[in-house]
Amino acid sequence: MHRIVPRLRFALAFMLLAPVWAGNATASSQNPLMLPRLHGEIHLDGFSDEPAWQAIEPLPMTMFQPVFGGEMTERTEVRIAYDDQYLYVSGRLYDSDPEGIRGNTLYRDRYSGDDVFAIILDTFNDNENALWFFTTPNGVRFDMAVSNDAEFGGGSPFGGVINASWNTFWDVATARTDEGWFAEMRIPYSSLGFQDQDGDVTMGMIVYRFIARKNERHIFPAIPPNWGMAFAKPSQAQDIVLKGVHSQKPLYVTPYVLGGLGQASELDATGARYRLNNDVTRNVGLDVKYSLTSNLTLDATINTDFAQVEADDQQVNLTRFSLFFPEKRQFFQERAGIFDFSTGRVDRLFHSRRIGLDRGEEVRILGGTRLVGRVGGWDVGFIDMQTERTTLETSDGFDTIPSENFGVLRLRRQVFNENSYAGGMATSRIGDDGSYNVAYGLDGIFRVFGQDYLTLQWAQSIEDDVVRAQAFDFFDTGLFRARWQRRGQQGLTYTAALTRSGADYNPGIGFVTRRAFTQPFGALSYGWFPEGDTPVRRVTPRAFASVYFRNEDGSLESLFASHQWSVEMKSGDQFSLGGQLQVEDLRRTLFFPEDTEVPAGRYTFTRVQGSYRMNSGRLLRANASASAGSFYDGWRFEASFGPTWNASRHLELGGDYQFNRVRFPDRDAGFDVHLVRLRVQAALNTKVSANAFLQYNSSADLVSANVRFRYNFREGNDLWIVYNENLNTELGRMGPGPRLPLTDNRTILLKYTYTFGG
């Protein structure tokens, strides 16, 4: 330990004092663009043909893809302006083949290969976070939040940097003619959050138009495709200045009423058969949103309910670790990037799904508050939630979960240069039975030079079980991580990282896959864009290696090594081919479906894999992948296929089928797993829609249905009808006990919300 302390002191000193050299890689270093004020009335109909619009010069657009700086095949005119209350964005999106314009769906917040017109706003101009607004020829609204400068770094969708569940208040109108399609957006300042200095506001801005059938994107400013999502990268945004804009403090009050019927199968008093028990639901609650300042928002909730949230995707777990599920609940979405403290892939110091959910079952949230925004130069995030004492049925009987208080505090600010940050996080989980878990973390991400970044993190947890056992050790309850990374997707990029986790590191509101390990990690890739008349847009070979050593004796626990070639075509199609080597040293038996076991021991196995993804602009499209190879002391074949068909703008049919065949010939054991997901999206218009999500998981012998009807009268005013049902597929079973019922449980709920204020 005496040797480790000086190293830790050096690391912390480096975080706070080391010089950091800043290269010239951000658009914000350019001269800011002074946005024009609107002079005249605007009628939001999509056409932007009023004299007030015509007086504004369109922005100079550049082709981003398929060839950066190439000749744009269609004319695009984008104008931006503002007044005292709104930011206005208009697009005149001409098209020589108006029949080819893709407006595939009317469903809110569901991209379906449509043409797109979008604006991305780094409202705090921090080169790290942004709000993303886009629409389609059908006038469908999409809003998302960007974090971590759009750099992939997680196991959740979009690498954990795009929050597609975030929503806010804004308006859009579109129109179509034989010249193309036209769009107008009106975004209130109250939906943005920003800092003004005597009425002057500086933000970062990116606007683009995407022509789906051509895989063609026009963009301003002229950001080169050097990064994975360069067209949404806040650090490359153009600085814009609005004058005479002052803070607003809107108040939104959203009560809800909820009613419904639930039925669950339970054994009767004799234990001879199952019967459905009815449970009538009646509930009311309240959400409040108030902007304390133009850049600090308070959310409060009483008797919180998330009945309208879509069901999680079923997953097949063929690892020895817990599955990760992303957060979908709206209350936790506002500037969720502030709370990011990722410690590797899906691991993190704070995971909001630990609040109000336990082992996949809901735990009632009595209420809470959430404060996010900026104070001075600090990004601030605070959460405090209280849950109710709950009894859950488990395979071993019943388990009582105490009433718990969950607290999170996050502070973060720029240091050294506009692309470097340092901060800290503290979390607490305190039960009314005396249990507690407190954790904290310090982190910094520093742009050293060019596109090279250094990340340093330290986290530690303190919980009652460890303290009572007098087993508390400073390093055994902590995690340290250091990573050096060159970002980008053009030219040479690399990552080198080292992580050490103690055996008792266990953040109570976090997500941790494994503990008591030391992990070196390395990755190398080289991407290039072929020149000339070629159908290939980009080629990227990648290789990485990750090794986990046990802290207790330094022995090997796991090893992963992989090499992959990825090719993106100018058409938008993508395919990849690669191979993987894996070593697993099991000290305990590993259990798989169908009561299949893998005995303890060391195993080395390999596999080859390939994938193909079609351009999303096609009305009928599909993704496919397959892998095959050895698996522990046997073999495994996996294949997946996911077609999508936009029958019309009113109806979309989509599905995913995943098949795993695993065999262990020497032990005459094995299993097959089928996972099927079917999605049906129907929309009468942009306000009335329905979604059916059906899933079958053969390893769980379960069919589940999640059907949701929504009537969106206006933003914040919704009627939801939600139907859920779980069906058993293995009705007969061997051994003692009665025959399983067809219906395991079902619910039908009606929820109405109405928002006052603005």
pLDDT score at 30: 64
- pLDDT of 19 strictly over 60: no
Give the mean model confidence (pLDDT) for residues 662-686.
94
Whole-angstrom distance, CA of residue 436 vs CA of residue 507: 11
b/e sequence 412-440, b meaning 16+ C-beta within 10 Å: bbbbbbbbbbbbbbebbbbbeeeebbbbb
What are the tens digits of pLDDT across the range 682-710? 999 989 999 999 999 998 888 999 999 99
pLDDT score at 92: 97
Lowest mean pLDDT among 8-22, 174-188, 333-347, 627-641: 8-22
Whole-angstrom distance, CA of residue 107 vs CA of residue 683: 6
Q: Report residue 629 as tokens.
A: 């190879």
Whole-angstrom distance, CA of residue 632 vs CA of residue 634: 6
Per the model's pLDDT, the better-predicted residue between 64 and 249 turns out to be 64
Whole-angstrom distance, CA of residue 184 vs CA of residue 79: 10
Report residue 320's pLDDT band, with 50, 70 and 90 as the boundaries: confident
pLDDT score at 391: 82
Whole-angstrom distance, CA of residue 122 vs CA of residue 120: 7
- pLDDT of 667 strictly over 70: yes
Give the mean model confidence (pLDDT) for residues 551-560.
96
Give the mean model confidence (pLDDT) for residues 131-159.
80
- DSSP H helical segments within 405-560, as ranges? 464-468
Per the model's pLDDT, the better-predicted residue between 438 and 323 turns out to be 438
Q: What CATH number is given for 31-242 in this structure?
A: 2.60.40.1190
Query: How many CA atoms lie within 13 Å of 206's alpha carbon, on the beta-carbon side?
Result: 34
Whole-angstrom distance, CA of residue 99 vs CA of residue 358: 50
- pLDDT of 384 strictly over 90: yes
pLDDT score at 28: 46
- pLDDT of 650 strictly over 80: yes
pLDDT score at 395: 61
Work out the percent of the chain whose per-residue pLDDT is above 70. Answer: 93
pLDDT, mean over the chain? 89
Given the DSSP bridges, would you call strands 717-728 and 702-714 parallel, antiparallel or unpaired? Answer: antiparallel
- pLDDT of 2 strictly over 80: no
**3-state SS assignment for residue 609:** strand
Per the model's pLDDT, the better-predicted residue between 554 and 246 turns out to be 554
Q: Are 79 and 240 in contact (CB under 8 A)?
A: no
Give the mean model confidence (pLDDT) for residues 733-744.
71
- pLDDT of 96 strictly over 80: yes
Work out the percent of the chain whose per-residue pLDDT is above 90. Answer: 65
Closest CA relative to residue 725, chosen from 708, 750, 745: 745
Report residue 23's pLDDT band, with 50, 70 and 90 as the boundaries: very low
Distance linking the first and last C-alpha atoms of the chain = 57
pLDDT score at 399: 81
Report residue 227's pLDDT band, with 50, 70 and 90 as the boundaries: confident
DSSP string, 651-701: EEEEEEEEEEEEEEGGGTEEEEEEEEEEEEEEESSSSEEEEEEEEEETTTT
Lowest mean pLDDT among 23-37, 243-257, 453-467, 513-527: 23-37
pLDDT score at 151: 84
Q: Are 614 and 624 in contact (CB under 8 A)?
A: no
pLDDT score at 74: 97
Closest CA relative to residue 439, chosen from 460, 410, 464: 460
Whole-angstrom distance, CA of residue 192 vs CA of residue 698: 45
Per the model's pLDDT, the better-predicted residue between 623 and 154 turns out to be 623
Report residue 368's pLDDT band, with 50, 70 and 90 as the boundaries: very high
Give the mean model confidence (pLDDT) for residues 445-470.
91
- pLDDT of 14 strictly over 60: no
The structural domains of the chain, with segments of one domain joined by +, span 31-242
pLDDT score at 556: 97
- pLDDT of 431 strictly over 90: yes
Give the mean model confidence (pLDDT) for residues 62-79.
96
